[in-house]
Amino acid sequence: MAPPPPPAPDATLSDVGEFGLISELVALFPQGEHVLVGPGDDAAVLRVRAGHVVVSTDLMVEGRHFRRDWATAEDVGHRAAAQNLSDLNAMGGRAHSLTVGLAAPADLPAAWAIDFARGFAAECALVGASVVGGDLTRASEVVIAVTVIGACTQAPVLRSGAVPGQLLALCGRQGWAAGGLAVLGRGFRSPRALVDAYRRPAPLYDAGRAAAEAGATAMIDISDGLLAEAGHLAADSGVAIDVRSAAFELPEPLQAVGAALGVDPLSLVLGGGDDHALLATFDPGSPPEGWVVVGEVLAPGDGGPGAVTVDGAAYEGATGWTHF
C-alpha cells in the first residue's frame, strides 16, 4: 500500500482524523535499539538492563505553560521534551524512552501537531531517547502529557541529601527564560536571546550525571523558580539554605530587560524558571567544572527546615510560581 498523502496545509485534526494523524506522527519518531515494539500496539515493549529505572511525568496546558502565539509548535515540542528530560538529568539519570499524550481541539491545525512532534523528537534525539508511545484525543484546549523513563548508572541524586556546611551550586544559565517570558508578556519580541531561551530551553543533559559522579549530595531541576526549588531541596533535606546574590552573573540581556521593564534583573534569576538549570549541593571545596557556587547549606534556624534566605535575610520578591 502506498503511504497516505500528507494532509493539506490548512487541514485540522478533525479533517485528518485520529488514525491518519497518528500514522503521520509515529513516522517522526525513530526507535532506538532497546525498543522491541514501538507505538501502535496496546503497549510498547522495551528491553532494559537490571538496575535503577527513573520515571517522571509532566503536564503542559495551553495558555498556562505555553501560548501558541508566543512560540512555534516546534518550540513547544522542544520545551515539552526538555522539561521532562531535565527531570531525569536532575537525578543523575538519562532518558531512554518517552510517551506523549496530546489532547487538542478538533480545529487545531494538523500541521501544528506534526510540527510539535518534530520538535519533540528532535529534543529527545539530543539524549538518544525514543518516543515509544502516546495518545491523541479531543479536548477544548491543548494539553500535553509527557512521561519519561530512563536509567541511572550510579545511585540517583535525590533532593534530600544536603547537609549543613555544604555548598549550593548552579549549572546552566538562569533567568534567561524568565526574561524572555517577561518581554513577551509586554508584547515585545526582543532581546532575541532571551525570547529564544524561553521558547527553546537548552538544558545541559550531561551535567546531571557528571555532577552525580563528582559527588553531588542533592540535586534539583529549576523549573518553577530558583528560590522555590532551593526551598524544596532544603525542606526535603531538613536544612536551611542561604543564597548569595553577588554570586550571580547578570549578563547584558538581563540587564537590558531589567532597565526596559523596570524590574531588578536579579529577580529574574532568583524567581525565574524554565531554563532548566540544575541546583545541587557539594562538599566544601571546588564544585565540578561548569558549576558556580551560589550559596551554602545551613542548619535550620528560626525559619525551620526548608527556609531559604538571600544574603542572610528573607527575600521579598517572587520565588517561583504555583499552579493553583
Return the residues of window 126-155 that contact its own copies according to CB under 8 A. 132-141, 143, 145, 147-150, 152
Residues whose CB falls within 8 Å of the CB of residue 133, separated by 6 or more in sequence, listed in order = 38, 39, 43, 44, 99
Task: Let me know: does 111 contact 147? Beta carbons within 8 Å.
Answer: no
Q: State yes or no: residue 122 binds its own copies (CB under 8 A).
A: no
179 labeled binding residue: no
Min CB(235)–its own copies separation in Å: 10
One character per residue 218-237, x = contact with its own copies (rule: CB under 8 A): -xxx--------------x-
Whose cell is 554570586? That residue is: 247
Residues whose CB falls within 8 Å of the CB of residue 282, separated by 6 or more in sequence, listed in order = 166, 167, 169, 211, 214, 215, 216, 217, 288, 291
Residues whose CB falls within 8 Å of the CB of residue 182, separated by 6 or more in sequence, listed in order = 257, 261, 263, 268
Instruction: Please identify which residue in 23, 70, 156, 256 interacts with its own copies, judged by CB under 8 A.
Output: 156
Min CB(224)–its own copies separation in Å: 10
Q: State yes or no: residue 312 binds its own copies (CB under 8 A).
A: no
Min CB(312)–its own copies separation in Å: 24
> How many residues in the shown chain lie near its own copies by CB under 8 A?
73
Instruction: Please identify which residue in 90, 111, 183, 310 interacts with its own copies, judged by CB under 8 A.
Output: 90
Instruction: Please identify which residue in 6, 19, 255, 299 interacts with its own copies, judged by CB under 8 A.
Output: 19
Task: Let me know: does 266 contact 245? Beta carbons within 8 Å.
Answer: yes
Closer Cβ to its own copies, 48 or 259, answer by number: 48
Helix axes 176-185, 192-199, angle to 10 degrees: 100
**What is the H or E stretch that residue 237 is in?**
helix 226-237
DSSP 8-state code for residue 313: B
Q: State yes or no: residue 314 binds its own copies (CB under 8 A).
A: no
Task: Let me know: does 323 contact 274? Beta carbons within 8 Å.
Answer: no
Task: Let me know: does 66 contact 112? Beta carbons within 8 Å.
Answer: no
Return the residues of window 176-215 that contact its own copies according to CB under 8 A. none
Part in contact with its own copies (CB under 8 A); list of ranges 66-74, 181-189, 216-224, 260-268: 216-224
Q: State yes or no: residue 18 binds its own copies (CB under 8 A).
A: yes
Q: State yes or no: residue 166 binds its own copies (CB under 8 A).
A: no
Task: Let me know: does 306 contact 234? Beta carbons within 8 Å.
Answer: yes
User: Annotated binding site: which residue ranges?
Assistant: 42, 56-58, 65, 87, 134-135, 159, 221, 223-224, 274, 321
* Known binding positions for ATP: 134-135, 159, 223
